[in-house]
Amino acid sequence: MKPNYLVITGLLLFICCITTITKAQQATNPVIYADVPDMAIIRVGKTYYMSSTTMHMSPGVPIMKSKDLVNWKLVSYAYDTLANMDELNLTNGKSTYGRGSWASCIRYHNGVFYVSTFAQTTGRTYIYSTKNIEKGPWRRVSFKPSYHDHTLFFDDDGKIYMIYGAGNLKILELKQDLSDVITETERVLIENASTPAGDNIMLKAEGSQLFKRNGKYYLFNIVWPRGGMRTVLIHRADKITGPWQGRVALQDKGVAQGGLIDMPDGAWYSYLFRDNGAVGRIPYLVPVKWEDGWPVLGVNGKVPETLELPANKSLIPNIVASDEFTRRKKDASFPLVWQWNHNPDNSLWSVTERKGFLRLKTGRIDTSFLLARNSLTQRTIGPVCTGITSLDVSNMKDGDFAGLGLLQKNYGLAGIKINGDSKTIVMINAGNGKADEVASIPLHQTTVFFKAECDFSNRKDTAHFFYSLDGNSWIALGTPLKMTYTLPHFIGYRFALFNYATKNIGGFADFDYFRITDIITGVKQN
C-alpha cells in the first residue's frame, strides 16, 4: 500500500499550525521590554501589584497591576515628589541623576498596602501606606538613615522587620506604627552573604527580598562574581534570626535580583530583571519548582524563552502611551505614563491654556538640556519604538530651545533654536559624552514635526532623528545616536519633550501631541 502523501502533508501542516498557535498563546521573556528595574511583587486575591524604581523621576515609585503576571498596567505612584531640595528640583546647578529613590518593597498586611523605599539624596528611608493602592490617599512616614536595598517583612508573631545592606546583611525591628526603627534590635543577620557565589566578588550580596513558606524563611539577593554574571542567591532558615544556609539559585543571562510570587492555582514564579543595554533593566519571569524545601529556579537551570502563561500584549497604552493633550474637566493633568525629569515647577507648564496642547514655559536661564527643568518624559520600549511630536514655535523667544529628546547622560535632541529673529532646526548628538550640534537647518514656518526612532534589537542601541515640515514627508536629521546605558544616570533612555531658555525668560513652546508606536520605518528620504 502506497503512503498517502496528501494526508501526511496535511497532518504535518496541521501539527505546525497547532505548534504555532500554542507558541503564540504563550508568554515570552522578557515579560516587559522596558525599563522596570528592582521589581517587588505581591498577590492580593487574584490580582498582582508591582512596585519598581524610577529614581530621579517625579512622580516616583510606580505601581503596576496585573491579572496574569505578564501584562501590566500603571495604576498609581507612591509619591508626587520625594522632597523639596536643590538636587531634586534641578536648581543651583544640582541634580540627583543616578540617585533619587531606589529599590522599593511592596507588602499587603491587614488590609493595608505598604510601599517602602530609600534615597541617598535625602539620607532617609520612606514608608508609604494606603488602603486603596490605585486611588490613595497615601500616608507617608520617613526616618534616618537610608536603609540600602531593604525588604520590609510582617511576621506571623506581629513583629515587623527590615533586612538591608550589602555583603554583611543586617536586620532590625520597626515600631508597630512603622514610624521608626527600634535601634537596639539592629544586628548582623548574615555575615558575608556573598559566600555561596565564591570569594572573588565584584558586587556583594544586596537587593534583599524576604519570603515565608511553610514556616521557613527565604531571602533572595543578587551577587556578581568577578568575571562572571549577575547571579541569584537564596538563603533559607527555620527562624528569621537564623542560622541561614545559602546557595546559588540561578546563573543565566545575567537575569537576577527579585523574588518569589505564587499564583492562585499553586504555581510559583520568580520575578527578576536583566541589564539590557540602553533600553534599561527589563523584567523576566522564571518558573519555580520546590525540591527538598528549596525553590528551584528556571528550566534545567536556564531562563526559558517561553512561559506557560497568557501571551504578552502590547506595552501600549499601559506602560507607554500616545497623548493628544486633549483634556476634559475631570481628566488628570497627565496619564500615568508621563513623569517629569526631577521635580517640576508647576507654574511653568499647562495643558489647559491652549486647548489640545502641552505648553512648556521658560522661567529661568539654563545652560544645558540635562539641567533644564520641566522636561516631560516617558519610557522607550523594545525591541523598537518611535516617538513623534508636533511643535508650535510661535511664542518662543531669542535663545529658547525646544523639541524632542532621548534622555540619558549621552542624550540626543531634535529641536528648534531661536537666535534673534531666525529659527533653526538642530540636532544635538551627545552619544560620545559631548554635546555636538551635528545639524543646523533654517526654518521659515512656525510649526515643525520631529520623530525619534529607537532600535534596541540585539542591543543595537541606535536612534535616528527626523524632521518634517508637513507631518507626512520625513527628512533624516543629523547623525545616528549611539545610545549607552550609563551609571551616572542609572536609567533607560526616555523620550522627552523639552523647552528651556538660554537668554530670555517668558517664552513658551506648544506641543500638539506625542505619539508612540512599536515600529520603526527607517525613512530617510528628502
* Residue 280 phi, psi (nearest 5): 115, -155
pLDDT at 151: 98
pLDDT at 220: 98
Which residue positions in the chain have pLDDT lower than 70?
A: 1-24, 523-526
Q: Note whether 282 and 371 are same-domain residues.
A: no
β-strand pairing of 384-392 with 151-154: unpaired
Q: Note whether 386 and 468 are same-domain residues.
A: yes
Q: Note whether 297 and 343 are same-domain residues.
A: no
Q: Note whether 293 and 347 are same-domain residues.
A: no
- Is 522 inside a domain boundary? no
Q: For residue 481, which of 413, 385, 386 has the smallest C-alpha distance?
A: 413
Integer Cα distance of 486 and 479 in angstroms: 20
pLDDT at 329: 85
Among 289, 306, 323, identify where a domain stops.
Answer: 306
pLDDT at 4: 57
Q: Note whether 166 and 102 are same-domain residues.
A: yes
pLDDT at 215: 97
Integer Cα distance of 469 and 474 in angstroms: 8
- Is 458 inside a domain boundary? yes
C-alpha count within 13 angstroms, C-beta hemisphere, residue 121 = 26
Residue 185 corresponds to which cell in the numbers above?
Answer: 534590635
- Is 23 inside a domain boundary? no
- Is 320 inside a domain boundary? no
CB 57 within 8 A of CB 341: yes
- Is 19 inside a domain boundary? no
Query: pLDDT tens digits for 475-488?
Result: 999 999 999 999 99
- Is 312 inside a domain boundary? no
**Residues 225, 227, 232, CA angle at the centre, nearest 5°?**
35
Buried b (16+ CB within 10 A) or exposed e, 322-331: ebebebeeee
Q: Note whether 236 and 381 are same-domain residues.
A: no
pLDDT at 228: 95
Among 306, 331, 351, identify where a domain stops.
Answer: 306
pLDDT at 384: 98
CB atoms within 10 A of CB 120: 16
Query: pLDDT tens digits for 184-203?
Result: 999 999 999 999 999 999 99
Q: Note whether 285 and 382 are same-domain residues.
A: no
pLDDT at 1: 47
Q: Mind giving me the DSSP string for 213-253? A: ETTEEEEEEEEEETTS--EEEEEEESSTT---EEEEEE-ST
Q: Note whether 260 and 343 are same-domain residues.
A: no
Instruction: Please state the domain count of the chain.
Output: 2
Sorted by sequence, the CB contacts under 8 Å of residue 86 that are 6+ apart come out as: 92, 94
Among 306, 326, 354, identify where a domain stops.
Answer: 306
DSSP 15: H
Domain that residue 200 falls in: 38-306
pLDDT at 330: 86
Integer Cα distance of 454 and 464 in angstroms: 7
Q: What is the pTM of this model?
A: 0.94
- Is 280 inside a domain boundary? yes
CATH assignment of the domain containing 400: 2.60.120.200
Q: Note whether 299 and 380 are same-domain residues.
A: no
Q: Note whether 258 and 376 are same-domain residues.
A: no
Q: Note whether 214 and 262 are same-domain residues.
A: yes
Q: Note whether 287 and 390 are same-domain residues.
A: no
What are the strands, taking DSSP E only, across 110-200? 112-119, 124-130, 139-143, 151-154, 160-164, 169-174, 181-190
What are the strands, taking DSSP E only, across 362-446? 376-379, 384-392, 400-407, 412-419, 422-429, 436-443
Residue 396 corresponds to which cell in the numbers above?
Answer: 518662543
Query: pLDDT tens digits for 219-243?
Result: 999 999 999 999 999 999 999 999 9
CATH assignment of the domain containing 290: 2.115.10.20
- Is 324 inside a domain boundary? no
pLDDT at 523: 54
